[in-house]
Chains A and B, each alone.
Chain A
Amino acid sequence: MSNDAASIDLLKNRIAGISTSEFRGQVRVVVPTEHLFASLEFLHGERVFDFLVDITCVDYLNYRGATDRFGLVYVLTNTVTNEQLMVRTFLNEPDLAVPSVTSLWEGANWMEREVWDMFGITFEGHPDHRRILLPEEFAAFPLRKDYPLQGRGERHNFPVLTRDSA
């Protein structure tokens, strides 16, 4: 899939502090968190990246050479020209909040809920900001690197529901 060089240049002119990198033909744009929504709005509205492929997050806790804790990844595609772009932003504790993009792409709804559920990143302005896979009482964020694989002890945190109380 080809890359949209013009979009990246225009984005660089408009928003300060953008850096790009390339690996195996995929261009990644790193955007400062405060300009994330403006950049995505620009790419959606003016550069017609109408298809949001995926939103995901990476926890760089023990990653070699990493300076930030979390990296958010937005994979965007233009369905007409088939250009693809990856927009990334880095987040650190305790400031784990980004604006929601559900107003731009309706499909972001469940993807953002999943990132919140698994990594604990808040999406401000999300219409239905709840956990999606885990119950509301769950306290931890399982895909963070400091969460153990076996999750032992979690099930004891839940109150036992008996037939009488249900």
Chain B
Amino acid sequence: MPLASVESRDLAHDEPQDYLWTLNFGPQHPATHTTLRLVLKLDGERVIDAMPDIGYLHSGFEKLGEHLNYNQYVTITDRMNYISPMTNNVAWHGAVEKLLGLKLTPRCQYIRIIISELSRISDHLLCNGAAGLDTGAFTYFLYAFYQREVLYDIFETLCGARFTNSYTRVGGLMYDMTPLVVEKIRAFCKNFPKTLHDMERLLDRNKIFVDRTKGVGVLTKAEAINRSCSGPVARASGVTRDLRKDDPHLPYSDFNFQVCCATAGDCYTRYLVRMQEMWESLKIVEQAIEKLPGGPVNVGIDQRTAFPDKRWVYSTIEGTISHFELQMSNRGFEVPHEEIYAAIEAPNGELGFYIVGDGTETAYRARCRPPSFIHFAVFPHLIRGHTLSDIVAVLGSLNIIAAELDR
């Protein structure tokens, strides 16, 4: 069947046709590793229409945001996009600090940039690794996952948790970076390029991979903008928008890096853009670790927002009082009676929070603008007219995280 005729018909609302198959694709049991379900309409092996069915997890992220205070909610943001939790932490507290009007210390800003970029590498490694795995490149996946383990080790040394980090706090961070972490990040910067070169050599010109991804799931620039796509998905279609350059809330202008763009907009280009973004992220981490400023990581007890250092708490009365005041449920810091939208460039795209403060220590409304949710809406458009086996390639290139879908 020619593609044009498939595109022009309104298949979702057409008369039921006897020769079309309905196929439930993907695991939907909550115990399986992602609760992603697609209802497909197939003509032989060709996908006529796809209907994403979401809403199996019922995590209630936004409702929880109305009942947990600004520091507690960071543990919930870990679970939103569990592939890159550090970025979510930075996004959430970046939004809270914008609402409060807090200015972070230079060291804190640099550490936040380092952890955001490391988790961007970690996210892209998983996304590209899984895309390789889905299209048959198992060794590639193992290369990617080994490096993810190295990154987990860095995060574990940094904050004690490998997976759900909860590293940021209002006005600062949980702990400062120790010399051991700096050493581990330096070692990572030294060793990672070799793996990245190996990965590029394995897959970039692999005939099977290129044949399965090139020209599949094409998204044009106009469609990408019109359908609110962001991040690597939009940049692979020629949209140059990158919040690190266009609307940075951290000092990204201090670093020399490129925004990676392409024009083809197919699965292969999205893969290439992610590969290239890892190189750029690595460049930022290298520069940031060399230029890492000294000084405190938290804004200090005068501002009455960040938790004071434990040495202060145990040895001075001011520290004890301010720790106590922040910890008590009816005290805490006061936020303005206002609303704010703040977004950062997460690995998947624009991750924004719309926070309504009502003067108490709990947000009145904490809305999350998740990139995966928006990108999954594009999926039926991308897959129409392709075959059943192309579904994994397109899904992998969009990097759909089920926990972010079912909020």
The segment from B125-133, B263-271, B322-330, B352-360 that touches chain A is B352-360
Determine whether the beta carbon of B354 is less than 8 Å from that of A56.
yes
Given contacts A63-B358, A110-B377, contact A23 B226 (CB under 8 A): no
Q: Give Cα A109–Cα B407 distance, bound, in whole angstroms.
A: 17
A118–B63 CA distance with the chains assembled, in angstroms? 10
Range of interface residues on chain B? 35 or more
CA distance A145 to B364 in the complex (A): 10
- Docked-complex contact A53 and B377, CB < 8 angstroms: no
B341 CB contact (under 8 Å) in A75, A105, A132? A75
B-side contacts of A107, CB under 8 Å: 226-229, 374, 377
Which among B84-92, B110-118, B158-166, B332-340 touches the partner chain? B332-340
Q: Which residues of B contact A134 (CB under 8 A)?
A: 55
CA distance A161 to B232 in the complex (A): 42
Q: Is the CB of A149 within 8 A of B67?
A: yes
**Min C-beta distance of A100 to chain B, whole Å:** 14
Q: Restricting to A47-91, which residues have a CB under 8 Å from any CB of B? A: 50-54, 56, 58-59, 63-65, 73, 75, 79, 82, 84, 86
Consensus secondary structure, chain B interface: mixed
Kindly report which residue of chain A lies nearest to residue B377, judged by CB atoms: A110
Chain A contact patch, size range: 35 or more
- Measured between C-beta atoms, what is the minimum distance from A141 to chain B in Å? 11
B149: chain A residues at CB < 8 Å are none
Asked whether any CB of chain A lies closer than 8 Å to the CB of B246, the reply is: yes
Is the CB–CB distance between A133 and B239 below 8 Å? no
CB of B241 within 8 Å of the partner chain: yes
Pick from A1, A52, A143: contact of B62, CB under 8 Å:
A143
B406 interface residue per 8 A CB criterion: yes
Interface presence of B350 (CB below 8 A): yes
Contact between B228 and A52, CB atoms less than 8 A apart:
yes
Q: Are A58 and B228 in contact (CB under 8 A)?
A: no
- The distance in angstroms between the C-alpha atoms of A82 and B343, with both chains bound, is 13
Complex CA distance for A24 and B58, rounded to whole angstroms: 34
Judging by beta carbons under 8 Å apart, are B54 and A86 in contact?
Answer: no
Q: Choose among A53, A63, A135 the residue that contacts B228 (Cβ–Cβ < 8 A).
A: A53
User: A110 and B374 in contact (CB under 8 A), knowing A63-B364, A64-B359?
Assistant: yes
| B residues near A137, Cβ cutoff 8 Å | none
The interface residues of chain B lying within 8 Å CB-to-CB of A108 are 228
Are the CB atoms of A132 and B225 closer together than 8 Å? no
Contacts of B63 in A (CB 8 A): 142-143, 149
Complex CA distance for A50 and B219, rounded to whole angstroms: 16
Known: A23-B340, A132-B54. A58 touches B356 (CB 8 A): yes
Contact yes or no, A133 B227, CB < 8 A: no
A26 at the interface (CB under 8 A from B): yes
Q: Which residue of A lies closest to B360 (CB)?
A: A64
In the complex, are the beta carbons of A1 and B247 less than 8 A apart? Answer: yes
CB < 8 Å: which of B99, B365, B369 contacts A54?
B369
CA distance A64 to B335 in the complex (A): 14
Chain B 124-157, CB-CB to A under 8 Å as 1, else 0, gives 0000000000000000000000000000000000
> Can you list, as one digit per residue, whether each of B1-37 has a CB less than 8 Å from chain A (1) or not (0)?
0000000000010000000000000000000000000
B98 and A50: CB pair below 8 A?
no
Q: How far is the CB of A137 from chain B (nearest CB, A)?
A: 13
Q: Which residue of B lies closest to A104 (CB)?
A: B226
Contacts of B352 in A (CB 8 A): 53-54, 75
- What B residues does A133 contact at CB under 8 A? 54-55, 58, 406-407
CA distance in complex: A65, B240 (Å): 41
Q: Is A106 an interface residue (CB 8 A)?
A: yes
B residues 346-391 near A (Cβ < 8 Å) are 350, 352, 354, 356, 358-359, 364-365, 367, 369, 373-374, 376-377
Q: How far is A106 from B219 in the complex, measured between Cα atoms in Å?
A: 13
Given A1-B246, A79-B225, check contact A109 B367 (CB 8 Å). no
Does B294 sit at the interface, judged by CB under 8 A?
Answer: no
Q: When each residue 166-186 of chain B gets 1 if its CB lies under 8 Å from chain A and 0 otherwise, what string results?
A: 000000000000000000000
Q: How far is the CA of A145 from the CA of B63 in the complex (A)?
A: 9
* Other contacts beyond A26-B340, A54-B369, A133-B406: 15, CB < 8 A: A50-B226, A54-B341, A54-B367, A56-B354, A58-B356, A79-B240, A82-B247, A84-B247, A86-B341, A105-B227, A105-B228, A107-B227, A107-B229, A108-B228, A133-B407
Sorted nearest first, the 7 A-B pairs with minimum C-beta distance are A107-B228, A133-B55, A110-B377, A1-B247, A54-B369, A107-B227, A56-B367
Q: What are 8 pairs between A and B in contact, CB < 8 Å? A: A24-B340, A53-B352, A56-B354, A64-B337, A82-B241, A105-B228, A107-B229, A143-B62
